[in-house]
Structure 1
Amino acid sequence: MASPGLLPLGLVWLLSIFTNICSQPIAISNETESDRQALLCIETQLSEAQVFTAWSNASLELCNWHGVTCSAQSPRRVIELNMASQGIRGDIPPCIAKLSSLRKLQLSNNSLHGVIPSELGLLSKLSILNLSMNSLEGNIPAELVSCSQLQILDLSNNSLSGEIPPSLSQCTHLQEINLSSNKLQGRIPFAFGNLPWLQILVLAANRLSGTIPPSLGSSLSLIHVDLGSNPLMGGIPESLAKSPSLQILRLISNNLTGEIPKALFNSSSLIVICLQKNNLLGSLPTFIAPSPPLKHLNLGDNYLSGTIPPSIGNLSSLITLYLNQNKLVGSIPQSIGNVPTLEKVNLNINSLSGTVPPSLFNMSSLKYLGMANNSLIGKLPSDIGYTLPNIQDLILPGNKFEGPFPTSLLHAYNLRRLYLANNSLTGFIPFFGSLPNLEKLDLSYNMLEADDWGFLSSLSNCSRLIALLLEGMNLHGNLPRSIGKLSISMKELWLRNNKISGPIPPEIGNLKNLDTVFMDYNLFTGNIPSTIANLHSLVYLALAQNNLTGQIPDTIGNLVQLNDLKLDGNNLSGGIPATLGQCTQLKILNLAHNSLEGSIPKAASRRQGHLPTLAGGATASRLPAPRGPNPRGARRPQLPARGDLTLADDGLLPYLRTRAFGLRIEQPPPGFANRVGKKERRAGRTDRMSEQERRGSPIVLRWAAA
């Protein structure tokens, strides 16, 4: 029998177990409380947002708070904080680092600013860090090297500066690095190529310099490399071209030079090659890889020369082919048309010649076909609208195509852009009203005829039309009032350099979204319609070199977005409207060769450092045009022997160059000699101004032919 006051050993053992069990919740509570206090610290340092409404000191169950994920097993710790796209503003609170078990931190697409706190390096269990699409500044903290478990690092679309810390290569578990769209400088760390698990490296749109590290080609895991839009120099490393794992290579808009490694085009893994906008040289190699997986090839805007090899037809999986803006010569190989998957072919701006192979016009998969600015000849197939049933963009200007316009294109119902300018197509302009998706139509500088202008009424069915270009086509007759029935979405109207006569229809004022109107170099008569003031989005208005009469409507001051106004070479009379002063964006104003009176409104003559230019540099209503070639056969008045020039703003005087007009100043105003000439002579001119000049009253120059 046990002695009094002593407990049996079995009971002692039970009590010890019970004590341990009872004390465990206290330990859990302490760790959870630490995470809760860290979250409350985060909430107090960030701006109020809807996401924080459930975060409060009264709520103990933090694992149910919005954006918070806890571990499943005890002790329940915060392992993920996902606050993406929640409208959060402010600096990233350093107290995030107190969430010591955090594995994923997702704060992308908010309005965070300031620097990335170095305390994030204390999160030793962190595997995903995404701070992209914010306004963060400063350097990438080198302390992130302590996040030894980091697998995904996304700091893209911020304003981070400085160099990429080479120590990041010590995070050997990294699989994805995205630092694009920042202001990072310096070189790409060589050791990135030694990261054993790195699959994605995106450093595009920074200010990185130097060369591409050849070590990137030694990685056996790298599948996606994007170094575009940096000033990188040198060549493309041969090792990168031979990478056995690489699938996507984007080196757009750099300063890369040399020839493209031939191994790049015969890779057994590459799917996307984008090398456009560099300084690459040489010719296209022979494509010999059996059934290569390449789907997207863009080599545009380089200095590639030679011919397009027929072996390009071996790229049997190709979807997009961009060889535009190079120095390629010769004919287009027939084999391109044998690639059954091709959707986009861009051969614009080369020196290709000969006829287009029929196979290229028989690709039912084709959506974009661009062959602009070459020397291609022949006729467009009469059935092209049927053989290219999915075509959306047909870009063929600047060639030598001839013959009748293929009316089958009126059955290419997916057409959005049709550019056929600067060819020798004949016949009548067809009725395009059957093309519901048509957005841009350019038939300029062909030999097409308007007939009775019925095509214009037909275009009113094209509700998506935003640009109509019929420049330099020798069109005759009156512009019909149906011009006002074109799509309300219209932004550009180019009718310049024709022989269109009669009045400008007032219905043009219905096209309220127009920002560009070029109707100069025609035979228009009558007044400038007052309805033109309805075009509040207008930026460019050219009615020059016509036979317009009457006054400039006062309502022209409603065009407050005007940047360029050219009314020269007409028979306009009356005063220059004072309302022009409301056109505060005006940079170019040409009223020459009319019979206008008065002065340029002071408010229009100088705004935000931009000065209007009339007749090549001076401001006047009757100033002769500059000497030089006569543009497009424009009518040039005879130079009067003498005349007066009225300037409303003395600030324009330093910009007047009489030599451009072959003139001499007979009676300059006081102080004029001190202010006309080299810009450096304008310093300190205020003390030399006359009282008349200080008041800004009109100054009259008397000029004569030199």
Structure 2
Amino acid sequence: SCIANLTWLARLQLSNNSFSGGLPPELGLLSRLTNLNLSINALEGNIPPELSECSQLQILGLWNNSFRGEIPPTLSQCKHLQEIDLSNNKLQGSIPPAFGDLPALRILVLAKNMLTGTIPPSLGSSCHLTYVDLGINGLGGVIPESLANSSSLQVLRLMSNSLTGELPKDLLNTLSLGTISLEENSFVGSIPSVTVTSSPIKHLDLANNNLSGRIPSSVGNLSSLVYLRLTNNHLVGSIPESLGYIPTLETLTLHINNLSGPVPPCIFNMSSLRSLAIANNTLVGRLPFDIGYTLPNIQNLLLSENSFDGPIPASLLKAYHLRWLYLNGNSFTGSIPFFGSLPNLEELDLGHNKLEADDWGFVSSLSNCSRLSMLALDGNNLKGKLPSSIGNLSNSLECLYLSSNQISGPIPPEIGNLKSLNSLYMNYNLLTGNIPPTIGKLQNLILLSFAQNRLSGQIPDTFGNFVQLSMLEMDHNNFSGRIPASIAQCTQLTTLNLAHNSLDGHIPREIFKLSTLSEELDLSDNNLSGGMPDEVGNLVHLTVQ
């Protein structure tokens, strides 16, 4: 390769192009090369061991390519290497232990490969190493004590591997680590205690492991902590009050554990908090009446699937930064506040509580929430008729869940204005009348259920407009007339349930040409007639009732 003639070259930066093929071994002839950056290309093949002959190499960046094979252990001969980034390739094998002997190494990034084996303990003896990212590989074994106790390491990212064992006992007593990301592994045992009084840890993520026991109260000693995520473990006991006194904490995520008891009041008084996720536990009690004032910066409030009760505090209307509000799966009572004063609201889930409403004015107020993409009110005690103002909800609304209430009266024609809807559930109510033809405007629908109501009339031909529809449930109503052949235009349909109605006539032959109908076709308990067409043979893997 002619590149071997550039013996004077010190820096070769060809990143973010579309280069393909392999790396020429002749690169090893560039004896003065200090910086090699070929990242964000389409290079493939093995990393040539000849690179180790670049004795002056300080920075090696080959990330975001398609390199395969093992990492050449001979790279450890480049004693001046300060940065190695081989992330986002298809590298296999183990991490060369000799990397720990590189005297100048500061940054080691091998994330998003297919590396196996264990983490070399020698990495912990590298006195200048500040940044280690080995995440999203297949590494096993334990975290070496030497790495956890490194006096120079500032960032340790080992997430999404197969690491096991207990966490090093002094992991949280570091005097240098600011970021610890160990999520999505198989760690067991308890969270280590904190004995230091001044810790640099700002980011601690231990989510999606098998940790057990209580959250140590001493975690509150991590006075610089900004981000704490302990999601999806087996933690028990109460939420430590000490967490509420970390002045810098912005994200507190403890959901999917076995935490119990009331939430310490100080947690709801953290003015720094932007995200509080304590869903899927067994927490109890009422929300403070002034929560909207005491959490002035809250953006995500996820309290679902607990045992909270009492009214939804009206002060939440003052939490102007709220984006996601999940209160579903509790025992909240009373009326639904007029959340229209929250201009940034994107997702509102109040489902499966004991909320009541005869006056649907809160729906009218939600028309001010122009970013609203999901509204869930299912599983409550909502009564009365849906207002026409439901059609004024956000143009961004994708999911509307109203099932399992006591909603009566007709479906407002204005619902056809919600053209971004992909999921519409109005099943298990007391709805009457015909389905408005305007429903055909909802051409992005994927999931549609009107089941278990008192709807009547014919199924509109406009259902053929639902070209993305995967599930259609209309069972247990009073529909009459023929099944529209236009349903066959729903070429993505996997589930069709029209059972327990008063439909008559032949089953349209075209429906049996829908080879996508693989989950369910239920037309039972109607007044259908005629024979079964030969096209029924197109329906494979189907439950026919």
Q: Which bracket does the TM-score occupy, shorter chain normalised?
A: over 0.9
Mapped pair 1:408 → 2:300 = no
1:112 is aligned to 2:14: no
Give SS of 2:383's match. coil
The equivalent of 1:621 in structure 2 is 523
| Kept in 1: contact 2:375–2:400 (CA 8 A) | yes
CA change 1:202–1:278 in 2 (3 A) is same
User: Does the 8 Å CA contact 1:379/1:401 hold for their aligned counterparts?
Assistant: yes
Larger deviation: 116-125 or 185-194? Answer: 116-125
Equivalence for 2:260: 353
Kindly report which structure 2 residues correspond to 1:163-562, keeping only aligned pairs within 5 A, or say none.
163-562=70-469
Contact 1:580 1:604 (8 Å CA) reproduced: no
Task: Give identity over the alignment, percent.
Answer: 62
**Higher helix fraction (1 or 2):** 1
In 1, the alpha carbon distance for the partners of 2:208 and 2:331 equals 27
Check conservation: 1:582, 1:604, Cα contact below 8 A. no
8 A Cα contact 1:236 1:256, kept in partner: yes
TM-score, normalization by structure 1? 0.74
The structure number with the bigger radius of gyration is 1
**1:647 to partner: Cα distance:** 5.3
Letter in 2 for 1:213: P
| Within-5 A mapping of 1:126-145 | 126-145=33-52
Distance in 1 separating the partners of 2:152 and 2:72: 26
**CA RMSD, aligned part only?**
2.0
Secondary structure of the corresponding residue to residue 69 of structure 2: strand
Q: Hey, what's the Cα distance between the residues in 1 that align with 2:174 and 2:391?
A: 56
3-state SS of paired residue (2:232): coil
**8 Å Cα contact 1:584-1:603 kept in structure 2:** no
| 1:655 equivalenced with 2:541 (yes/no) | yes
CA deviations over 1:27-47 (Å, ceiling 9, x no partner): xxxxxxxxxxxxxxxxxxxxx
Structure 2: gaps (5+ residues): none
Deviations 1:194-232 (A, max 9, x none): 111111111111111111111111110111111111111
Q: After TM superposition, which residue ranges in structure 1, 4 or more long, deviate above 6 angstroms?
A: 642-645
Can you list the C-alpha shifts for 1:429-456, whole angstroms capped at 9, x where unaligned? Answer: 0101111111110111111112310000
Q: Quick check: 1:231–1:254 contact (8 Å CA) kept in 2?
A: yes
Partner of 2:517: 611
Deviations 1:336-360 (A, max 9, x none): 1111000010010111111111111
8 Å CA contact retained: 2:376, 2:402:
yes
Cα distance in 2 for partners of 1:343, 1:592 equals 51
Q: 1:372 to 1:601 in 2, by over 3 A?
A: farther
Asked if structure 2 preserves the Cα contact closer than 8 Å seen for 1:595 and 1:621, the reply is no
Kindly tell me the number of residue pairs found equivalent between the two proteins: 544
Higher relative contact order (CA 8 A, sep 6+): 2
Q: Does the residue aligned with 2:455 lie in a helix, a strand or coil?
A: strand
Q: Deviations over 1:603-626 (max 9, x none)?
A: 77444xx43332xxxx342269xx
Aligned residue in 2 for 1:15: none
Partner amino acid, structure 2, of 1:342? L
| 3-state secondary structure, aligned to 1:646 | coil
Amino acid in the other structure paired with 1:162? G
Q: Cα deviation per residue 1:87-146 (whole Å; 9 max; x = unaligned)?
A: xxxxxxx54443332222222222222222333222222211222222222222222122
Once residues 226 and 580 of structure 1 are traced to their aligned partners in structure 2, the CA distance between those partners, rounded to angstroms, is 52
Q: Distance in 2 between matches of 1:603 and 1:653?
A: 10
Shift in Å, 1:556 = 1.6
Distance 1:351 1:558, change over 3 A: same
Give the C-alpha shift of residue 498 in structure 1.
1.1
Q: TM-score, normalised to structure 2's length?
A: 0.96
Structure-to-structure mapping, 1:141-156, within 5 angstroms = 141-156=48-63
Residue 599 (1) aligns with residue 507 (2) = yes
Q: Do the aligned residues in 2 keep the contact of 1:595 with 1:622 (CA within 8 Å)?
A: no
Return the offset for 1:654. Answer: 5.3
Deviations 1:488-540 (A, max 9, x none): 01111111111111111111111111111111111222222222222222211
1:64-103 superposed matches below 5 A? 94-103=1-10
- Mean alpha-carbon deviation: is it higher for 344-353 or for 501-510? 501-510
Q: What displacement does 1:177 show? A: 1.1
Provide the rounded CA distance (Å) in 2 between the counterparts of 1:310 and 1:497. 42
Structure 2 equivalent of residue 43 of structure 1: none
Decide whether the 8 Å contact of 2:501 with 2:525 is kept in 1: no
Distance in 2, Cα, partners of 1:393 & 1:526: 39
Letter in 2 for 1:217: G
Which amino acid counterpart does residue 500 of structure 1 have in structure 2? I
**Post-superposition shift, 1:557?**
1.7
Q: Distance in 2 between matches of 1:601 and 1:291?
A: 74
Q: Is the 8 A contact 2:109 2:132 kept in 1?
A: yes
State the 1:422 CA deviation.
1.0
Work out the CA distance in 2 between the residues paired with 1:142 and 1:164.
9
